[in-house]
Structure 1
Amino acid sequence: MSGKKVLKYACDLDKSVTVTNFERRGWTCVGNDEDWNFYWATVQSVRNLFSVDNSYRMTDDQVVNHFPNHYELTRKDLMVKNIKRFRRDLEKEGNPLAEKDETGRYIHLDFIPVTFMLPADYNLFVEEFRKNPSSTWIMKPCGKARGIGIFLINKLSQLKKWSRDSKTNTFTAPSAKDTYVISRYIDNPLLIGGKKFDLRLYVLVTSYRPLKCYMFRLGFCRFCTVKYNASTTELDNMFVHLTNVSIQKHGDDYNQVHGGKWTVHNLKVFLEGTRGKEVTDKLFDDMHWCIVNSLKAVSGVIANDRHCFEVYGYDIIIDDNLKPWLIEVNASPSLTSTTSSDRIMKYKMINDTINVVIPPGELPDVRWNKVPAKESLGNYDLLYDEDLAQTDILAQDVKGRLTTTIPGSRAGKDRQRLAQATWK
């Protein structure tokens, strides 16, 4: 062991999938106020760490698992605001990606449902609602997670009731914690076995400028326990509409063994068998496209601190036309294991994340170029590397979207094709 420096870790989450990983590497546990090299922190701790009131300065051998203002992507209202601004900016530049069809809908960047902020956009929402009064909308508090405070409406009177419940009769802006987003509900979800599901995909970002991100191959589908029914009488039944495990596990039909989950690999095999390989490949490419562009939308506003990396939990719903919709992005995707396969998958995710962000067998080093060897990637695939993409694309005409797809292609196996496929 010739004086090799032992890596010291701090961890705010007492979860077996994190702690076991650190212990198996022979790391030493220290308090977050001590001299650590690797800190798996809560978002609150990271806020304190980067607070202007805090004179803490990180050294070159320290890394932490959140960017200072990750909420630009992970708060529901800010994500929508940033994506809308990104589309407008591209439109002003005359970028072909911002092309619209004759109805004014974005052709390439239409990957979030029509969404408004309440109370600020109330009048705009009413105008949109009246164009299609039979539509259903889903309301979510901006700062909450795990399905808390979500409800569906299909009448304006239901919104007025909510407004009165919030102790206000007018739509004057209450404090930020009372802000909601209201989105057109995807009422034609792709069903499997008659049930609605969504996807939880894990995306690791090691840098925003230049953007460098990886897709974890072992994502999963979360199923509702009750068959889907678009009937307006079922609007209050969250076992039909919300896939959050924190809600579904209270249902009578919840299965403790598989936890209502299916691997992304199983979904792919199922879709290839029922819909064909070509459309399945296109669906997965569209999902990658939507993730990369959501990251591009915030890349200019995120504080790209070189001590930071982040594993985001992306929630995506697929409709019955096999179109993916980005619902939200989570800054702290749950590391609680509901099943044994869940535990194994999350352990691998933490393990592979560490192997990507820290040079193998070494201490963190923020001066490192952040290009891991392909054998360090484990279950991660390179999703987008801005440096690579610009090098490759300089020689190409990038008008419109390329038709190449990257169905699960391994990073490093064919980097050029990957770079072309993802960055259209």
Structure 2
Amino acid sequence: MEVIQLHRFTFSQTNTEKIAERPLLIHKTKFDIRQWFLVTNFRPLTIWMYRESYLRFSSRVFSLNNFHESLHLTNHAVQCKYTNVPQRDRALPHDNMWDCHTFQTWLKEMGIKEKWDENILPGMRQAIVCTMLASQELMDKRQHTFEIYGADFIISEDFKPWLLEINCNPALSSTTRVTTRMCPQCMEDLVKVVIDRRTNSKADTGLFDLVYRQSVTPIALYPGGDLSIRGRCIFKDQYKLQKVALGNESKRSTSQFWHRSNKFVTSGSKRSLTSRLTQSPRLTHSPERTLPPIYTRPIIVDLIENLNKSSTNPKTWKAA
């Protein structure tokens, strides 16, 4: 109900997420996972995932009876404002951060080591790839550019990773003993992917693994064949009338005929079809000249319709 009532207020930017009621807890403390990944091209989409990640713990013991940010927001920017409570288990780090290797050791101690390779890691990879594919059309297509992102995941009790958010320009500063080791190594490996691999496809990429490369459909080569279609007119009684009206509807008119000998006849003057096409196709007439008699035979309005009507008597049609 509290979330529903928030719509009455006006915010410049609002992001509402459903809380995980049953997150995976380590020593009764909530945590999330920060996973780096690198995009070196958006068309085709190319994603590199860093082999290492780290966990960020809350400074308070988890409880659904208290919704204070110190219990539920585990990112370092929030937790650095609070001190660890004495009720926390002493096995947790003082700087509230584990690397993924320490987390895998804890899973092994719990007898569930396979959950990292079978559930958590593949789930994070799938969420990252699907999210980037969904936002691919919104990204600027710029060649020779890259972007590193930080994806945050919460793990549920059934070891399923849930994507919280993806941060562009993630913090790569050395704030804890874990980031002091990982951040410089990540920056060095990033240079290997972006620079070294441009000139050597077999260059070492450090801890970055290529997890997705979008396939591009090849464009079929055009064979260059002639696709034009040529046909011949069908005339009735070896003639066809094409009446061209010039000027007003009053008295100025002319007619144009196509003769089977390919001679163009207009206003008594005869010129060959070749010379007529090489010059301007403008038709001129002289009011003083006597026009030939109007063709009085039936004019074909719809060729297909007339063909259907004459199908019983095909001898009335001849090809020119």
* Band of TM-score, shorter chain: 0.5 to 0.7
Q: Are the equivalent residues in 2 in contact too, given 1:201–1:216 (CA < 8 A)?
A: yes
Larger Rg computed on CA atoms:
2
Structure 2: how far apart are the matches of 1:185 and 1:340? 29
Structure 1: how far apart are the matches of 2:214 and 2:112? 31
In structure 1, the partner of 2:79 is 248
2:116 pairs with 1:280? yes
In structure 2, the partner of 1:296 is 133
2:107 pairs with 1:271? yes
Structure 2: how far apart are the matches of 1:345 and 1:305? 29
RMSD: 2.8
1:308 to partner: Cα distance: 1.3
SS in 2 for 1:359: helix
The counterpart of 2:156, out of the listed 306, 312, 319, is: 319
Q: Are the equivalent residues in 2 in contact too, given 1:226–1:239 (CA < 8 A)?
A: yes
In structure 1, the partner of 2:142 is 305
Bigger helix share: 1
- CA deviation vs aligned residue, 1:271-308 (integer Å, no higher than 9, x gap): 24425344332221111111111111122331221131
Q: Are the equivalent residues in 2 in contact too, given 1:258–1:339 (CA < 8 A)?
A: no
Bigger strand share: 2
Q: Structure 1: which amino acid aligns with 2:202?
A: A
SS in 1 for 2:15: strand
Q: Structure 1: which amino acid aligns with 2:13?
A: T
In structure 2, the partner of 1:379 is 207
1:115-154 → structure 2 map (5 Å cutoff): none
SS in 2 for 1:193: coil
Assess, with a 3 A threshold, how the Cα gap between structure 1 residues 293 and 321 changes in structure 2: closer, same or farther.
same
- CA deviation vs aligned residue, 1:187-235 (integer Å, no higher than 9, x gap): 111000110000000001101221211111221000001111112xx01
The counterpart of 2:59, out of the listed 225, 228, 244, is: 225
- CA deviation vs aligned residue, 1:10-44 (integer Å, no higher than 9, x gap): xxxxxxxxxxxxxxxxxxxxxxxxxxxxxxxxxxx
Q: Percent identity?
A: 30
In structure 1, the partner of 2:15 is 181
Assess, with a 3 A threshold, how the Cα gap between structure 1 residues 374 and 258 changes in structure 2: closer, same or farther.
farther
The counterpart of 1:345, out of the listed 182, 191, 195, is: 182
Structure 2: how far apart are the matches of 1:311 and 1:347? 14
Assess, with a 3 A threshold, how the Cα gap between structure 1 residues 341 and 263 changes in structure 2: closer, same or farther.
closer
Q: Structure 1: which amino acid aligns with 2:50?
A: F
Assess, with a 3 A threshold, how the Cα gap between structure 1 residues 339 and 372 changes in structure 2: closer, same or farther.
farther
Assess, with a 3 A threshold, how the Cα gap between structure 1 residues 189 and 264 changes in structure 2: closer, same or farther.
same
Structure 2: how far apart are the matches of 1:218 and 1:279? 16
- CA deviation vs aligned residue, 1:155-203 (integer Å, no higher than 9, x gap): 24x653x55664xxxxxxx6xxx13122221111100011000000000
Q: Structure 1: which amino acid aligns with 2:208?
A: Y
Q: Are the equivalent residues in 2 in contact too, given 1:313–1:331 (CA < 8 A)?
A: yes
Contiguous gaps of at least 5 residues in structure 1: 1-154, 167-173, 361-367, 392-424
- CA deviation vs aligned residue, 1:238-272 (integer Å, no higher than 9, x gap): 11111011111122218997520101122223224
In structure 1, the partner of 2:193 is 356
Contiguous gaps of at least 5 residues in structure 2: 219-320
Q: Structure 2: which amino acid aligns with 1:297?
A: A
Structure 1: how far apart are the matches of 2:100 and 2:147? 21
TM-score normalised by structure 2 residue count: 0.60
